[in-house]
Structure 1
C-alpha cells in the first residue's frame, strides 16, 4: 500500500463513458479511457485493510461476492499507484488468463466485497483491472508464450467460451496439445455472440484468441461435437475431453401466445445482430431488426440491458423493459443485504442511460408479470398483457408472487425479446456420451474435481454449474485444466 491516506483523499471514479446521444449512432465501445493520473488515484484508494476480502470468491445469500479467480487485487492496485504497470500486468495474469474479458464485462463482485465499501464507495477495481490489461496490449507486453516442450498428450475442449478458453490456455501451458471445438463460425462463445460489440468488442476477444493460437492451441470452428464429429470419434482421438458447452437452453415465458411471430429469445436477437455486424456491418440484413418497432424486453438483467442498447441503435419506435422484481433501493440494506454480500441495489446501466437519452425516461417497468401475448391477423404479436405482482411467502416460507388486482395493463408491442436466462445445458451430446446429469440437467461433476462419470471426461463452466458469471467460468476452466493435467500426468504444477 503506497498511499495510506488515498481512500481519504480521492473519490471513486469508474470507466468514463461517451455521451449516450452520440454513442448510440455507432457500435463502438461505449466507454473511453481514463487518464493515467486518475487511474493512479483509484489504485491509491485501495486500503491496507489487513484481511482483504475482495479477492476471494464465494456465494453468500445465493449471490457471488469477491473474485472467484482470487485476483491479487490489492497488489496490482498498489503497483498502478506506483506507476509499475508492467509488474501490475504480471500480477493480473497470475490468477486470470483473460483480465480483459472480466475488465469489460464482469459485474465486479470483488467491489461488493471491498472493505472500503463498508462505509464509502468501494475501490474501482474493474476499471483498474481493465486499464492494466489494455495498457499491456498497447505497450506490446502481452505476447505469445508457447511451452518449451510438449507432453505428447492430446486434449479436446468442447466449447470456446471463457471456461473452454481458460482450460485450453492452462493445458497448453502444461505442454499438452489442445484442440478447441466451436460450433459457430467465430471463437468466443457468448463472449462473441452473447455480448454486444459496444460492450465487449470482438477485436478484444480475437486478439486474445490469436495469441492462444500462436502459443499452439488449435481452434476448429463450424464443428458441432455429436453431429459433425461423433463423441466416439472425439474420445478415440484424444487422451482427455473437457466439456465447456455452456448452459444454452432458454427459459420461456409461460404465457398464452408465446409462439406468435415477433417474439424472440434475447440471445437469438443479440447473436444475429453481432454476426451480421461483423460479417457485413448489418448490410446483409440477416438479423432481427428493431427499427420502427415497439419493443418490449422481458427481463431486468444484463442481457435485457444489452437488448435495450441494441434496439436503440436500430432506431426502435418505443422501448420498455419489464422487471418482475420491485425497484431496488439506492443503497445497500445493512440488515437484509449486509457487507460483504454483493450489493442488491438500484443501478442505471449503459442501456438504460441510452434509452433515457432517446425517449426521455428510464425504460423499466417494475414488478410486472406477463400474462399473455395477443397477435394480429397475420399472427404477429401486437400486444402484451400484464399484471403487477408482489412477493409473499406461503406457510412454509416459500416465496410466491401474488397478482395485484386492478393493475392489469395492455402494452403495444410488435417485437418482444425474452431475456430471462437459461435453464441448463443442451442434452443431446451429454446423452450421446452417456454423461450423468443432476435434477437441473447440469453435468454431474464435483466442484474442484470436475470429473464426470466417464473416465477421462471433465466438465466446467455453465455446463456444470448452470448459468453464471464469466469470472466463474474462467475459475472452473482453470481448475478443470489442473485436474485434467493431474489425470494425464499423475501430478500437476497448474494452480
Structure 2
C-alpha cells in the first residue's frame, strides 16, 4: 500500500473543501473504510489516492433522530446501529433488514450508511482488473467497454445497461451522433424512430453515408475485438456509414416526416452566406424553428463543395439536387450568383437580417512556393471543371500531390477520364494518410500508384510546359506535439515524368469579401468564433465550416452549422435541434459477437465503373436491421451494489448533502454512479427516511454466502391494505440493473385490487416484461419472478 496524506475532518464542510478540485480520485473520503481499503489494496482505481480525508472524526455525524414525519440518519452512522434502531423498526423495518443483510457482523460494525449508498460497483471486472490474464480497463474506469458483454455475465444486469460516457463511435464522429441509440431502434426494425434520432444531429445522412471518412468506425469496439469463437480471427467494425446511408435515403424518400415546413413562423430573418454542408445544415434547423431563412451563394447552383468538388461516382448530383428541392419545400430561399463584397456588402446584411451566418468554405489555392509551381494545376479546380478538363489538352501521365480524400478523388477521376498513368505522391506514410481506407483501396483497385513519404522539391518544365516533378523523401510529417511540421532528406531525390501535375494538398480560405472596416475577427486566415456557439466578435454574426476550421470534413461542417443554428435558436428561446434523449436502459443483441463481418455497400465491379455513375448501391433496409445486431451498444451492465438504496427508493427518502437535498429517486436512478449526482467537494451528510405508518415493509435478497455476499437479486416491499384490497404498494428490485428499479407499472396495476392467482401471475409477468437476458444470467429472471410471486401471495 502506498503512502498518502491523512486528514481528520471536523465537519462535512471541512471535508468537502479538502477534496474540492479532485481529479482522477487523487483525493478520497473515508468513513467506515471497508471499500477504500479494497481500493488501495487491490488497485481498483488506475491511480492510488494521494489524500485520504477521515470522516469518522466529524462530531455529531452519526445519529438516528425522530423528527416528526421523518427519521434523520447521520451519514456516518454505523450499519449495526441501523440494524438495532427501534425508531426504524417501528416506521421502516425494511431498512433494519437491509442493513442486517450487508456482509458480516465485522463489516456492519465498520461500514456506514453513507458509505453504503455511495459505494463502488461490485462487478469483478471493475474490482479485480488483473484476474482476467491482463489489466481489464472496464468502462466504469475510463475504458471503452464492459467485459460482461463478451465474458462471464452471471451476476450482471437483466434489464440492460447505462452509458458511462460518450461511446467511442459517437465521440469520434465529427457530427457527434448518438449512434448506439439509433442502432438499438434498428434492431427492433424501427426505421422511423432511428431516423428521428439521426436527423436531430444530421439532416444530411444520405450525403455523409456516402462520402464521410467515418472516423466512428475507427473507434468502434467491434473492430478492436478478436473473435471469441475463433481465436486469432479479426472482427469488423460495425458498418455505420452503410447503415446511415440507408437511413439517409429513407429520410430523403419521406419528406413528409423529416423535411416539413414549420408549424408557425417566428418573424425573425436569418441569412446564410454559403450553401455547402455547414450552410445547409444551419438552414435546416433554423427553418424548422420557424425563421425566415435565405441562403446566398456565389455559384450558379447551391451545394457548395457537395456539388462542385465531389465526383459523381461518389456523390451523384441527383442527391444534391434533392437537397435543394427538400429545403425549398421547407421554405428556405436560395439566391445564387450573389457574391458578398461585390453584389452585397457584409455590413448591409446585418442591417437587413436579424442574424448572419458565414459558411463560405475553402476554395482558394494555397501557394507552396516551389520552383515551377505556376506550371501545375489546382486539383480542386480540376474537379470543378472536370467536364472540360480532357478537352483542354492531351494528358497521358498525371501526377497528383496530396494524400487526402480530395487527392484520391482527383487521381481516380483523372484515371477514369482516360489518363494512361496516374501517380499520387504524399508526405504521409501509408498508415498516416488522411484519406479513408475505402478511398485508398478504390485508387489502388484502379491502378493508381501511391508513393508514400514524398514531398515536392521542384517542378520540371521546358518551353513553358510541365514535364514532371522532382520529389524529396519526407522523413516525418509531424513534430512531437503532432503539429504539422514536415522534415525532409534532401539527399534522397526522385524525378517523376508527368505532362500534368495536379496539386491537391489542401485549400485556403478566401476572406477577401470582408472589407477591412467591417472588423470581423480573423485568426490564421480564418474567421474566429466561439467553439461552442460559433459566435464571432460581431453581435448577431456567426460562422462555421471550412471558413472557420480550414479545409476539413463534411461531417465537421455539419456539426458547426448545427451548433450555430442551435445558439441562434436559443437566443429566441427555441430548443431546436432537439436531440434524442435515451429513456430506460441500453440493450444489445446477446448474440452480436457471432456475426463477424459487417454489411458493405453494394459495390460496382471495377471494370464497370464510370465517371458519371455511382460506384455503389444502398443496401436494403433488412440488411441494416441485421447489421444493427452487431452493435454492442457499449455501456456498463453491472448492477447496483448497495443494499440500502432500494429501501430508500421505496421510502421516497431524501439525501441531504453539504449543498442541497436530493430525492432518492433522482439520487439513485439518474446517473450510473451516485457520485455523479454530487458536485466537486459535495458530500452526503444525512439521510431522511419517511415514516411509513400503516405499511408493512420488508427487504430480502438472494446471495451465495449469507455471511458476506452482495445481492444476486433483492426485493424491497411496502404494502398498506384496506380490508382485503391493496390500498397502496411499493416494489423495488435491487441487484438486477445498474440502478435499483421501482416497479411503478406493477404497483399501479395492483392498487385497489384483491389478490388472486391470475392477478399475481399477470403482475409477475409485467415485472419481467422488459428483461434483457445475457448468455448466463437468465436464472435471475426466474428468481425475480419467484421472490415477487411469493411476496404477493403472502399479502
Q: Cα distance 1:394–1:462, how it changes in 2: closer, same or farther (>3 A)?
A: closer
Residue equivalent to 2:329: 214
| Structure 1 residue 235 corresponds to structure 2 residue 314 | no
Structure 1 equivalent of residue 378 of structure 2 = 265
2:447 is equivalent to residue 383 of structure 1: no
Q: Is residue 217 of structure 2 the alignment partner of residue 111 of structure 1?
A: yes
* CA distance in structure 2 between the aligned counterparts of 1:351 and 1:289, rounded to whole angstroms: 28
CA RMSD of aligned residues (A): 3.0
Alignment of 1:200-349 (within 5 A): 200-260=315-375, 263-273=376-386, 282=387, 285=388, 292-328=395-431, 348-349=437-438
Deviations 1:34-81 (A, max 9, x none): xxxxxxxxxxxxx97954514543xxxxxxxx1233312112223333
Paired position in structure 1 for 2:549: 465
| 1:303-340 Cα shifts (integer Å, max 9, x gaps) | 110001110111002110001122328xxxxxxxxxxx
SS of 2:531's equivalent in the other structure is coil
State which of 451, 458, 477 in structure 2 corresponds to 1:365.
451
1:492 match = 574
Q: Is 1:481 matched up with 2:565? A: yes
Unaligned runs of 5+ in 2: 1-145, 151-159, 226-234, 578-795
**Cα distance change of structure 1 residues 247 and 48 upon mapping to structure 2, 3 Å threshold:** farther
The Cα of 1:425 is off from its aligned counterpart by 4.0
2:671 is aligned to none
Trace 1:18-29 onto structure 2 (pairs within 5 A): none
More displaced stretch, 184-193 vs 461-470: 461-470
Please give the alpha-carbon distance, in whole angstroms, between the structure 1 residues aligned to 2:405 and 2:214: 13
Aligned to 1:353: 442
Aligned residues: 411
Residue in 2 aligned with 1:411? 496
Instruction: Say whether the 8 Å CA contact 1:293–1:317 is kept in structure 2.
Output: yes
8 Å contact kept, 2:199–2:258: no
TM-score by length of 2: 0.48
Give me the TM-score of the superposition, normalised by structure 1: 0.76
Which one has the largest radius of gyration?
2
Report the CA distance between 1:147 and its aligned residue: 0.7
Looking at structure 1, the residues matched to 393 and 449 of structure 2 have their Cα atoms a distance apart, in angstroms, of: 15
User: Is 1:189 aligned to residue 273 of structure 2?
Assistant: no
Displacement of 1:91: 2.0
The verdict on how the C-alpha distance between 1:144 and 1:390 changes in structure 2, with shifts beyond 3 A counting, is closer
Instruction: Report the CA distance between 1:87 and its aligned residue.
Output: 2.2
3-state DSSP of counterpart to 2:415: helix
Q: Is the 8 A contact 2:286 2:569 kept in 1?
A: yes
Whether the 8 Å contact between 1:86 and 1:141 is mirrored in structure 2 is no
> Could you tell me how far apart the structure 2 residues matched to 1:467 and 1:396 are?
21
8 Å CA contact retained: 2:201, 2:562: no
- Please name the residue that 1:420 is paired with: 505
247-256 or 144-153, which deviates more: 247-256
**Contact kept in structure 1, 2:468 and 2:500, CA below 8 Å:** no
